[in-house]
Amino acid sequence: MTETADVRIAHAEHPGVGHVVPVRVLARVWGALLVLTLLTVAVARVDLGSLNLDLAMLIADRALGIGIFDPARGGDPVLFQHFFWFYSHPAVYIMILPAMGVISELVSVFSRKHIFGYSFIALSSIAIAVLSFLVWGHHMFVAGQSTLSSMIFSFLTFMVAIPSAVKVFNWLATMYKGSIWLATPMLYVLSFLFLFGIGGLTGLFLGALAVDVHLHDTYFVVAHFHYVMFGGTVIAFLGGIHYWWPKMFGRMYSEFWGRIGALLVFVGFNTTFFTQFVMGSHGAPRRSYHYQVQFEPYHRLSTIGAYILGFGFVLIAAYLVHSLFRGRPAPANPWGGATLEWRTASPPPHDNFAVTPEAGDPYDVEAWRWDGEVGGYVRREPVPQPAAP
Ligand code: HEM
Ligand SMILES: [Cu+2]
């Protein structure tokens, strides 16, 4: 997939795409680019600078008794957390941004509609990336930082919700009046919208100072981050795997088992983690292996959910592996995607294309129509191809 992304960025110079590279590249590529940028900045400056510095200082503190973090020697333990979260909050957005890129692409294909508000989708990704560096203090509301800092961090945390909501509304608007096809990848898109919605909204609960005093270090936080990291990132990646599987391996998996798998994951996930919202809001502490009696029913239910989830994953692995040997050979474009990878055979031959295709609008899914004989989508009109060199 990196290869196709490379190809597409390289092809941005091509007549059909226009010259200003960032303007017409895909949301998925945007996701990748932003992650690369974030990773570079985060790893080079923040990770090495902050996290490693943090560890180095901790070692120095312990081994040499310097007293950077140790209050007994005049150090500040909250300082450790500042360095830690200065790296670790941007890290959570590194995890969600590529998933958002995948969703932006899939939602358009399976709604058979051009993506709604492309520039807003791209700009909100940038806004999220920038804001993600300014909110680390929301992990330390009750760690003893000043009330003024907490208020500023709380305000900035609420700001992140704006670009996140812009994205969700754009995805919904893309679906609106679309011709929605509930194929397996789309089931993951719908799961993502629902679960990420809950994850993002509960982030706002936690970002509210008065509420976080009660919810901090409870299972509510555990549920929040699983809704965003699993309900968001993992679900989007499952959607992506099911979408690009035929392209990667040239075989179709069973649509029936695909849907059952998506359903099991959805039900298992919610049983496991929604339960944790409830018990967290009742005060169940996280990071404790000694479960209090009153929370036991929740823990049991959560465990049952985890087994359903695990079973879902085993099923998915089973039919995907099965498809490699027994699956129907995949057509070039089983879903009607408008991006370049669907213009070549599945799996793509060496060098991808026999002749360089003319890249057009990557979201122009309406240019493709279903063809029963091919068992996949074909272009409505043959596009004039440049002659082979
Ligand atoms: C609308 C966006 C979001 C908001 C407003 C938000 C807000 C928060 C807040 C305030 C906390 C601290 C809670 C506490 O410890 O008391 C938190 C924890 C956490 N969030 Fe989010 N969050 C958002 C999105 C995300 C995303 C997208 C991810 C990852 C993909 C994520 C991952 C986490 C993790 C891992 C923690 C727990 C850290 C720990 O172990 O203490 N959050 N979030
Ligand atoms: Cu955070």
Task: Report pLDDT digits (tens) over 335-344.
Answer: 999 999 999 9
Which residues pair with residue 218 across a beta bridge? 285
In angstroms, rounded to a whole number, what is the distance separating the alpha carbons of residues 191 and 60?
46
Let me know if residue 323 belongs to a domain: yes
User: Is any atom of ligand 1 closer than 6 Å to the C-beta of 231?
Assistant: no
Give distance in angstroms: CA of 169 to centre of ligand 2.
22
Q: Tokens in use for 287?
A: 């990071």
Looking at the chain, the whole-number percentage of residues with pLDDT higher than 90 is 61
Q: Tokens in use for 13?
A: 């110079």
Give the pLDDT mean for 65-86: 88
In angstroms, rounded to a whole number, what is the distance separating the alpha carbons of residues 181 and 237?
19
| Residues 195-208 pLDDT 10s | 999 999 999 999 99
Banded pLDDT at 386 (limits 50, 70, 90)? low
Looking at the chain, the whole-number percentage of residues with pLDDT higher than 70 is 85
Let me know if residue 330 belongs to a domain: yes
Which atom of ligand 1 lies closest to the CA of 206? 10
In angstroms, rounded to a whole number, what is the distance separating the alpha carbons of residues 21 and 12?
6
Let me know if residue 387 belongs to a domain: no
**CA distances (Å), origin 375, targets 9, 162, 334, 366, 370:** 30, 41, 7, 17, 8
- Look at residue 241 in the predicted model and tell me its pLDDT: 97
- Look at residue 354 in the predicted model and tell me its pLDDT: 85
Pocket test for ligand 1, best of 96, 212, 221 (most atoms within 8 A of CB): 221
Nearest CA-CA partner of 344 in 2, 103, 30, 7: 7
Give distance in angstroms: CA of 219 to centre of ligand 2.
16
Q: Following DSSP, what letter does each residue of 168-230 receive, concatenated?
A: HHHHHHHHTT------HHHHHHHHHHHHHHHHHHHHHHHHSHHHHHHHTTBHHHHHHHHHHII
Region of poorest pLDDT, from 6-15, 36-45, 83-92, 362-371 = 6-15
Pairing state of beta strands 368-371 and 376-379?
antiparallel
Banded pLDDT at 153 (limits 50, 70, 90)? very high
User: Is any atom of ligand 1 closer than 6 Å to the C-beta of 96?
Assistant: yes
Pocket test for ligand 1, best of 168, 228, 273, 277 (most atoms within 8 A of CB): 228
Give the pLDDT mean for 369-377: 92
Is pLDDT of 26 > 70? no
Of 18-32, 76-90, 307-321, the range with the highest mean pLDDT is 307-321
In angstroms, rounded to a whole number, what is the distance separating the alpha carbons of residues 258 and 239?
10
Give the pLDDT mean for 91-113: 92
Is pLDDT of 126 > 50? yes
Is pLDDT of 187 > 80? yes
Let me know if residue 389 belongs to a domain: no
Chain centroid to CA 35: 11
User: Is any atom of ligand 1 closer than 6 Å to the C-beta of 232?
Assistant: yes
* CB-based contacts of 375-384 (< 8 A; 24+ apart in sequence): 375/328, 375/331, 375/334, 376/330, 376/331, 376/332, 376/333, 376/334, 376/336, 377/331, 377/333, 377/334, 377/335, 377/336, 377/337, 377/342, 378/333, 383/357, 383/358, 384/358
Q: What is the CATH number of the domain that holds 289?
A: 1.20.210.10
Residue nearest to atom 43 of ligand 1 (CA): 203
Let me know if residue 385 belongs to a domain: no
Give the CA radius of gyration of the chain: 23
- Look at residue 54 in the predicted model and tell me its pLDDT: 80
User: Is any atom of ligand 1 closer than 6 Å to the C-beta of 134?
Assistant: no
Ligand number nearest CA of 156 is 1
**Helix%, strand%, coil% for the chain, nearest 5:** 70, 5, 30
**Total domains present in the chain:** 1
In angstroms, rounded to a whole number, what is the distance separating the alpha carbons of residues 305 and 265?
9
**64 burial class (0-12, 13-18, 19+ CB within 10 angstroms)?**
exposed
In angstroms, rounded to a whole number, what is the distance separating the alpha carbons of residues 34 and 130?
10
Nearest CA-CA partner of 239 in 109, 371, 374: 109
- Look at residue 130 in the predicted model and tell me its pLDDT: 86
Q: Tokens in use for 22?
A: 């960032």
- Look at residue 62 in the predicted model and tell me its pLDDT: 86
Let me know if residue 191 belongs to a domain: yes
**75 burial class (0-12, 13-18, 19+ CB within 10 angstroms)?**
middle
**CA distances (Å), origin 252, targets 190, 194, 353:** 21, 27, 21
Let me know if residue 386 belongs to a domain: no
- Look at residue 8 in the predicted model and tell me its pLDDT: 46
- Look at residue 66 in the predicted model and tell me its pLDDT: 86
CB 114, CB 55: distance < 8 Å: no
Give distance in angstroms: CA of 38 to centre of ligand 2.
15
Is pLDDT of 18 > 50? no
Tell me what the pLDDT averaged over the chain comes to. 87
- Look at residue 361 in the predicted model and tell me its pLDDT: 87
Give distance in angstroms: CA of 86 to centre of ligand 2.
9
Domain span including residue 270:
2-379
Is pLDDT of 315 > 50? yes
Residue nearest to atom 21 of ligand 1 (CA): 203
Nearest CA-CA partner of 229 in 204, 195, 252, 186: 195
Collect all residues with Cβ–Cβ distance below 8 Å to 192 and sequence separation of at least 6.
Answer: 99, 103, 231, 232, 235, 236, 239
Chain centroid to CA 307: 23
User: Is any atom of ligand 1 closer than 6 Å to the C-beta of 222?
Assistant: no
Banded pLDDT at 142 (limits 50, 70, 90)? very high
What type of residue sits at position 39? L
